[in-house]
């Protein structure tokens, strides 16, 4: 009998209870977590939001041209894809990296992540510079929480754009 690649008879009897503790975003033992991918996706959401607002502003009442529709559609598709990617990355940190003991040091941890996830959803369905900035602010808060928990508060918040 094999369990997790271990032949039971080889290392322990089949009636020996054991627990394998695996903590990683990929449900494997890699243990690689970093809020940077959420930040990059969040920046893309903010960039596409700003591009959409600028494009609409520059076209005024002439929003029926094929070029406008094509460009706006592409910006919207990228914005939605990156907002979902951001949400997925944040949910991995929330549900896999942060543990119950972290709630003692960060009692509002669940609220911060819940609001960030809701902002990802809002950014998917809206074109709001305000919500895009609020998302980036939430990601920065999560960045700081993450690196403080890891004892590496010297890791600076940086933006690619």
CATH number at residue 65: 1.20.120.400
The confidence band for 65, taking pLDDT boundaries of 50, 70 and 90, is confident
50 in any annotated domain: yes
103 in any annotated domain: yes
Q: Which residue has the higher pLDDT, 141 or 23?
A: 141
Range of the domain at 129: 33-149
Residue 72 near residue 56 (C-beta atoms within 8 A): yes
157 in any annotated domain: no
In this prediction the pTM is 0.79
Q: Worst-scoring range by mean pLDDT, 2-11, 18-27, 146-155?
A: 2-11
Q: pLDDT by residue (tens digit) across 75-112? A: 999 999 999 999 999 999 999 999 999 999 999 999 99
Q: What span, in angstroms and rounded, lies between the C-alpha atoms of 56 and 71?
A: 10
Number of domains in the chain: 1
């Amino acid at each position: 009998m094999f369990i997790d690649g271990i032949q039971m008879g080889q290392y322990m009897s089949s009636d020996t209870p054991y627990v394998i503790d695996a903590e990683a975003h990929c449900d494997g033992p890699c243990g690689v977590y970093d809020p940077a991918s959420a930040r990059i996706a969040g920046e893309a959401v903010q960039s596409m939001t700003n591009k959409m607002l600028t494009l609409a502003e520059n076209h005024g009442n002439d929003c029926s041209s094929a070029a406008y529709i094509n460009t706006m559609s592409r910006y919207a598709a990228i914005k939605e894809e990156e907002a979902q990617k951001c949400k997925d990355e944040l949910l991995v940190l929330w549900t896999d990296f942060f543990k119950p003991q972290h709630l003692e040091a960060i009692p509002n941890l669940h609220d911060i992540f819940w609001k960030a996830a809701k902002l990802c959803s809002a950014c998917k369905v809206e074109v709001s510079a305000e919500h895009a900035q609020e998302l980036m602010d939430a990601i920065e808060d999560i960045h700081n929480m993450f690196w403080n928990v890891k004892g590496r508060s010297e890791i600076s918040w940086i933006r690619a754009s």
